Structure 1
Amino acid sequence: MINQTDIVVIGAGAVGLAITKYLSKLNKDVLLIEKNNNIGEETSSRNSEVVHAGIYYPTNSLKAKLCIKGKKLLYDYCKEKKIFYKKCGKLIISQEKSDKTKLDIIENQAKKNGLTDLKRLTSKEMYKIEPEIECLEAIYSPSTGFFDSTHFMQSLREDIENSHGSISLNSKVIGGTINKNYIDLIIDKSGKITNLKTKYLINAGGLYSTNIIKKFINFPKEFIPNIFYTKGTYFNYLGKNPFKHLIYPLPEKSGLGIHITLDKYNKIKFGPDTELTNIVEYEVNEYKLEKFYKSIKTFWPNVVKENILPGYCGIRPKLYKENIKENDFVIQGPINHRIQRLVNLFAIESPGLTSSLAIGKYIRNLLFK
């Protein structure tokens, strides 16, 4: 490993890759370091692969602004690079008359965020497009879709390696010191300890971003937020797929509810649920199958329990346990902590994948206007 560079990005998930992609075009040497033996092994590869529209997020929040910008960038990038995507649309359904107000609130929030393409559907209109779904009313979001996130991240890696960027895997930051003109990193590279000086540092360590910055001797602790881990479980479905759209119930306090999503093989996935956890582990608890079955059956009566199989789990970092307006992305730059050339990204959860390219541009503009 080199001992000096212009820019270091920590974390090779989708966000870290996107940041490095844009920074590597600046005619500066950029190094992306990742503690795992491959890119995108955690939050970025353990999700629904949904391209979110930007419906629910508070007005002027980073989530709202970066999701809407990121959605367009992502669709355009996938089209350019021939990465699979499908803008299939999403249906947010209600099953009680009392839910009408909840749909109104969702629709109004979407309009505040600049989304003008949502459409309200009656039960009859729903039956025409998704006859197996039982509901009284729905919101249709035509710009929601899904894509191949693995191919997306591989393509970002190629962009980096074909530019002024490089990637060092199996490289874990174990300490650091912030100096006036550079930042000194201590890195464990496959068991070998090395020092690396960088002029700029972007901490996009995902689940571990707070733990990483805590290892820097002189970073002020008051700027390190407490992060909660939320585990989401997914189940696969073996039966025939009768759906053309993504199907979402009304949001819950801690998430968007157990929903139906699709993949590039036209297979069905259920999930995620939300479960607070203190550790990072990805074991699927099979006892949850009954809960998933009962939840899905409320709006898809024909679901066959025997066709539901354990899938996978993902973990996301959140600022708060519930979906309140303050539960936003935290992108912390010099204007916040008064340290030049350092940016921390905390609590980059959903819609982080959709927002990744927009976040990359945001960081570039933050450091190099």
Structure 2
Amino acid sequence: MTDIDCLIIGAGVVGLACAVQMSRVGNSVMLVEQERGIGEHTSSRNSEVIHAGIYYPPGSLKARLCVEGRDLLYSWCQEHGVNHRRIGKLLVAVTDAEIPALEAIQVNARQSGVCSLEMISQSRLHELEPAVAGVKALLSPQTGIIDSHGYMESLLAEAQRYGADLALDTRVHSLAPTAQGWLVEGMSCGERFFVHARYVINAAGLFASQLAGRIEGLDETYVPATHWCQGRYFGYSGRAPFKHLVYPMPEANTAGLGIHATLDLGGQVRFGPDVAWTDVLDYQVDDSLCDSFAYAIGRYFPAIDKNRLIAGYSGIRPKLNASGQSAVDFNIQGPKVHGLPGLVNLFGIESPGLTASLAIALHVSQLLD
């Protein structure tokens, strides 16, 4: 039996950020991860964008934690030498019919504390990005790109500097409340283990709901269904046609923001993600998607050469809304919600989870005070 202050389940970007936050204030921390490396799922299979916080409903956790987390993340990158660039983003109205929705997004962003957006004309858009077709656009100067792997490695190094331990290939099977915390049982590298922890943070991402279903004493009404939504990406060979991130208007009645163009830190363009609901943990990208990608991209990038599209990678987002339903906010439950001392469950931590990670970690620590 090992006695610790805090057990964190899931070594994605949020679990790693929680390990930093909890260890910095003097807790003994153990971070466990079922895979053989950190951030193997959602945290490393995304657009690697630092979001400004423009889309989310004002007052929501996504809106508040994205704005707070964005500023914390830029500061972290500077202090810890994480590769990033504040490259800026263009959200494009391709037709006049999309202008009202574009203006509504600017109002929404302002209500969430994002006042830096600039509405630009067609001529200004053409000056900034000659290859982009649109009648108006919002320029977001606070949007950036980041080396997500480098960021996670920096979080791990900082947590370990404060004494946190990482156990890979470690799966938690059950959690039971005790008078002083939680008794946790599982398998680590093929051997059974027991840990007693004062605090438990369920940051298991795609598997958070499954894990919560194995927590003794947790009423099932506090365990939302998690729906897996796959997003595929295509690379684009040759010279990048853009200098900024380029986003179309969000698609109505879908789970995503439309197939957008992002740049990586090496200057290469990738397009995605699309939206594909799935029950299978499958990261394959089929070449047959090329035509549908080219069609969607062609609305704002008419000169696209379909032959330069190359099937890339995919990720899976843990969503709390099912197909056809409206997007749902982060669901972060502390003891005041479910009534179990020392336990925090994080459900539906998808985009902007990477951007918000440091703010999420601070929020979690406050729920455990």
TM-score (norm 2): 0.97
Identity of aligned residues (%): 38
Residues 36 and 344 of structure 1: CA distance in aligned 2, closer, same or farther (over 3 Å) = same
Q: Secondary structure at the match of 1:24?
A: helix
Structure 1 spans left out of the alignment, 5+ residues: none
Task: Report the Cα offset of residue 14 of structure 1.
Answer: 0.3
Q: Post-superposition shift, 1:96? A: 1.4
Which residue is equivalent to 2:311?
310
Letter in 2 for 1:108: V
Aligned AA for 2:335? P
Letter in 1 for 2:202: N
Stretches of structure 2 lacking an aligned partner (at least 5 in a row): none
1:163 matched to which residue of 2? 162
Q: Counterpart of 1:55 in structure 2: which amino acid?
A: I
1:340 aligned partner? 341
Task: Give 1:322 deviation, angstroms.
Answer: 5.9
Corresponding residue SS for 2:24: coil
Q: Distance in 1 between matches of 2:142 and 2:222?
A: 36
C-alpha distance in 2, partners of 1:32/1:229? 24
2:171 equivalent in structure 1: 172
After TM superposition, where is structure 1 displaced by more than 2 Å over at least 4 residues in a row? Answer: 321-326
Q: Where do 1:205-220 residues align within 5 Å?
A: 205-220=204-219
Moved more, 298-307 or 9-18: 298-307
Amino acid of the structure 2 residue aligned with 1:321: A
Match of 1:248 in 2: 247
Report the CA distance between 1:178 and its aligned residue: 1.6
Contact 2:181-2:197 at 8 Å conserved across structures: yes
Structure 1 residue 264: deviation in Å? Answer: 0.7
Letter in 1 for 2:260: H
Q: CA, structure 1 residues 142+237, in 2 after alignment: closer, same or farther (shift >3 Å)?
A: same
Q: Tell whether the 8 Å contact from 2:335 to 2:367 is kept in structure 1 after alignment.
A: no
CA contact (8 A) 1:209 1:346 kept: yes
Q: Would you say how many aligned residue pairs link Structure 1 and Structure 2?
A: 367
Do the aligned partners of 1:255 and 1:322 also contact (CA within 8 Å) in 2?
no
The TM-score normalised by the length of structure 1 is 0.97
Q: What residue in structure 2 maps to residue 356 of structure 1?
A: 357
User: How far apart in 1 are the matches of 2:117 and 2:31?
Assistant: 39
The aligned counterpart of 2:290 is: 289
Amino acid at match of 2:183: D
1:1-369 to structure 2, matched below 5 A, reads: 3-252=2-251, 253=253, 254-321=255-322, 327-368=328-369
Pick closer, same or farther for the CA change 1:101–1:259 going to 2, 3 Å: same
1:326 offset after TM fit, Å? 5.9
SS of residue matched to 1:6: strand
Change (3 A) 1:325 1:306: closer
- CA drift at 1:217: 3.0
Indicate if the aligned counterparts of 2:122 and 2:136 stay in contact, CA closer than 8 A. Answer: yes
Q: Measured at CA, do residues 140 and 34 of structure 1 come closer, stay the same or move farther in structure 2, by a change above 3 Å?
A: same
